[in-house]
Structure 1
């Protein structure tokens, strides 16, 4: 295994990774949708992955 010095890492390309359950709780996403996201993405995912995979109910505009 190769050792990586944390001080030398470039932090400009770092992604914030969320616990899917925590993200759903903070954003008011229903439990059924949370379970589906965990099946699709796993326990941890980036914000972009979560936003692209959330299925929101359609609302009528009439």
Structure 2
């Protein structure tokens, strides 16, 4: 992956993270810490989103 592609990927991931943060009113680093600690979302309907959100956040960390 060249530098330009890497930067574009980081920006795309940041947009996804912002969408989740706006939807749930929680910062990504806070959600990820809770997710890694095994905490369940307060609503069962959020489980799939939180799994995806955690994946996006982990990938964003690796790209950084």
TM value normalised by structure 1: 0.30
Of Structure 1 and Structure 2, which has the larger fraction of its residues in strand? 1
Structure with the higher fraction of residues in helix conformation = 2
Report which structure shows greater RCO (CA 8 Å, sep ≥6). 2
Q: TM-score, normalised by structure 2?
A: 0.30
Larger radius of gyration: 1
